[in-house]
Amino acid sequence: MTAPADAPVTSVLRVSHLSKAYNGVLALDDVDLDVRPGEVHALLGGNGSGKSTLIKVLAGVVDAEDGAALELGDDRLDLGGWNSDKAYDAGLRFVHQQPAVFLDLSIAENIAFGTPFPKNRAGKIDWKALNRRTAELLALFQVDADPSTLLGALRAADRTRVAIIRAVQDREDATSGVLVLDEPTAALPASEVEHLLDSLRRYAAAGQTILYVSHRLDEVLSVADRVTVLRDGRKVATVDAEGLTEGDLVELIVGRPIDRMFPEPTDAPDREVALTVSGLRGGPLKDVSFALHQGEVLGLAGLLGSGRSELLRMLFGAYPVSAGTITLGGREVRFAGPSEAMSAGVAYVPEERQADALFQGQSVRANMTAGAASSYFSKLLFRHDDEKRDSADAIRRFLIRVGTDTQPVETLSGGNAQKVVLARWLRRRPTVLLLDEPTQGVDIAARAEIYALVREATRQGTSVLLVASDPEEMAHACDRVIVLRNGRITADVRPPIEAHRLTELVNLAEKAS
């Protein structure tokens, strides 16, 4: 469907003069956005630049300041009094940054949430119809699972698909409306991202419109038709994606070119051993043995479901070990729980940033310094000034965008929340630091910065075991990478580490098994 060359391009959604202040601080400042029918439109910007806020305004869950206008197709609407029911009726569908899915309910039940359950003539939920419809939707989005499967049993990529299916289930024949996705791929490894993007491309090719947020610029270039960039709450530009490079996007997002210099790898294997794992079993792990050297950044590569996260959690005393030994600083340890691991100097930054790792309701500062409280007591006086200075220091170094550090941590944007968790653990100078997807949702400017800070911690003696789904990032950030495959370590890759080689080794597993 091509419009005549001189016909005005119609918008499926257009917002203008959109502003939003939180406690007097502008999160959005006079922003315009127009989305055309059938396009994939990427919304980009650094952490805290206002992307999720814009999406929440569209969804009717956050009120805009007066003066904003919204057009949907030919309808001009008033954003005053906009709410989630109106957004729904207008055909807007959302998958938010932390989609509310229920892991202990079945796929069918999850999908049934948010829409009227199909009822039979007796007025009871028609499970047969629900299961049939769910099976169709699962097939459409290439999820290989039964409607009755518990959501918790699915891998992350499929959970995301279920959240998307739930949002779009009644939109199959619609041509108006927009599917809005806030960082749908943040939690997915590269191989899975491609799979999800395929689903999105097919969905758009069928005439649907998608607005989505991502920090992965290669992915944006491969899927988006147009791109809008926000910086500090203002719109910088809307541009066609064709012909753009990642460097162009970085400049638009950050405002200047940045050299994404990762710290130089160090040659650690000759150094003392900090941690040894030998014959470890439990969950998906069949027999895992390796050594982590002092001051080393050791990468752990593997497919999703290979047991990478379980291994980290075992080392933190948070997942049952059925056999094998863990030796820390020459002594065998068997942690009964995370608190024992923490006292032994082991720190863990989990993948699920908000849920597992932050103290909701407490300030950013308290979250950042949590666990270090005893170090601020001097002669029974709590040294607030020191705490305040350390917190300010961390905010500066991690490029955390926050009004004041006394604001509650749940008011932070997703990526900034992740930085707070990292800052807290890094400043504790742990002996062993376990990092699971530490830069998930973190913007391009802060990524290399975070690895520089990790590297600084290693110079102070911390040893790091790192799981990251992006092979490019692994190759840059690690001194050495081990590959977990079929429950065993199958390769030990030393510098020069090449991303494509890691991808090969990891995917080899699938073919061989």
Ligand X SMILES: Nc1ncnc2c1ncn2[C@@H]1O[C@H](COP(=O)(O)OP(=O)(O)OP(=O)(O)O)[C@@H](O)[C@H]1O
Window 54-93: contact mask with ligand X (x via CB under 6 A)? ----------------------------------------
Within 10 Å of residue 386's Cβ, how many Cβ atoms? 14
Q: Applying CB under 6 A, does 52 fall inside the site for ligand X?
A: yes
Distances (CA, A) of 217 to 224, 225, 229, 301, 488: 10, 13, 12, 22, 33
How far apart, in whole angstroms, are the C-alpha atoms of residue 431 and residue 460? 9
Looking at residues 443 to 462 of the shown chain, list those that interact with ligand X (rule: CB under 6 A). Answer: 443
Least distance between ligand X and beta carbon 470 (Å) = 16
Neighbours of 90 (CB within 10 A): 19
Stretch of 82-90, 150-158, 201-209, 414-422 lying at the interface with ligand X (CB under 6 A)? 414-422
The interface mask with ligand X, positions 9-48, x = CB under 6 A, is -------------x----x-----------------x-xx
**155 vs 231, beta carbon nearer ligand X:** 231
Interacting residues with ligand X between 317 and 356 (CB under 6 A): none
How many residues bind Mg ion (CB under 5 A)? The answer is 4
- In the complex, what is the shortest distance from the CB of residue 355 to Mg ion, in angstroms, rounded to a whole number? 16
Q: How many CB atoms lie within 10 A of CB 83?
A: 11
| 405 touches, from Mg ion, ligand X, none (C-beta below 5 to 8 Å by class) | none
Q: Which of 223, 358, 412, 444 forms a contact with ligand X (CB under 6 A)? A: 412
Nearer to ligand X, 329 or 408 (CB): 408
Give the HSE-up count for residue 278: Cα atoms under 13 Å, Cβ half-sphere.
10
Quick check: 430 and 422 in contact, CB under 8 A?
no
Based on CB atoms, which residue is closest to ligand X, 31 or 493? 31
| Residue-level length of the chain | 513
CA distance 512 to 240: 42
Least gap, CB of 49 to ligand X (angstroms): 4
Neighbours of 34 (CB within 10 A): 17
What is d(CA 38, CA 141) in angstroms, rounded to the nearest whole number?
18
Helices (H), 257-413: 308-315, 338-343, 353-357, 364-369, 384-397
What is the DSSP secondary structure assignment for residue 46, as one 8-state letter? S
Handedness of CA 319, 323, 324, 328 (dihedral sign): positive
Is residue 414 a contact point for Mg ion (CB under 5 A)? yes
- Shortest distance in whole angstroms from residue 222 CB to ligand X: 20
**In whole angstroms, how close is the CB of 186 to Mg ion at the nearest point?**
9
The side-by-side arrangement of strands in the sheet containing 75-78 is 25-35, 13-22, 69-72, 75-78
22 interface partner picked from ligand X, Mg ion, none, CB below 5 to 8 A per type: ligand X
**Binding status of residue 402 toward ligand X by CB under 6 A:** yes
* Partner whose footprint covers residue 214, from ligand X, Mg ion, none (CB < 5 to 8 Å by kind): none
Paired tokens of 60: 């009717």
Question: Cβ 178 to ligand X, closest distance in Å?
Answer: 17
Q: Assess contact for 134 and 147: CB atoms under 8 A.
A: yes
Q: Are 57 and 29 in contact (CB under 8 A)?
A: no
22 versus 113: smaller Cβ distance to ligand X: 22
Which of residues 133 and 353 has its CB atom nearest to ligand X in the complex? 353
Q: Does 363 bind ligand X (CB under 6 A)?
A: no
SS3 of residue 223 by DSSP = helix
Which CB sits closer to ligand X, 45 or 299? 45
Q: Phi and psi of 429, rounded to 5°? A: 50, 60
Q: What are phi and psi of 226, to 5 degrees?
A: -135, 160
Number of residues binding to ligand X, judged by CB under 6 A = 19
Instruction: Find the helix packing angle between 414-427 and 444-459, rounded to 10°.
Output: 10
Nearest CB to ligand X, comparing residues 306 and 439 = 439
Task: Choose between 47 and 110: whose C-beta lies nearer to ligand X.
Answer: 47
The separation between the first and the last C-alpha atoms of the chain, rounded to the nearest angstrom, is: 45
- 401 makes contact with ligand X (CB under 6 A): yes
CA pair distance 427, 264, nearest whole angstrom? 21
Centroid of chain to Cα 95: 13
Stretch that binds ligand X, among 142-150, 374-382, 408-416, 505-513 (CB under 6 A): 408-416
Region near ligand X per CB under 6 A, out of 5-13, 49-57, 87-95, 346-354: 49-57
* Closer of 139 and 355 to ligand X (Cβ): 355
**Piece of 91-99, 312-320, 392-400, 464-472 that binds Mg ion (CB under 5 A):** 91-99
Q: CB of residue 308 vs ligand X: minimum separation in angstroms?
A: 24
Write phi, then psi, for 75 (nearest 5 degrees): -90, 130
Q: Which does 303 bind (CB under 5 to 8 A by kind): Mg ion, ligand X, none?
A: none
Q: Find the binder of ligand X among 35, 39, 40, 51 (CB under 6 A).
A: 51
Nearest CA among 235, 312, 245 for reference residue 468? 312
Residues at the site binding ligand X, with contacts judged by CB under 6 A: 22, 27, 45, 47-53, 401-402, 411-416, 443
Residues at the site binding Mg ion, with contacts judged by CB under 5 A: 52, 97, 413-414
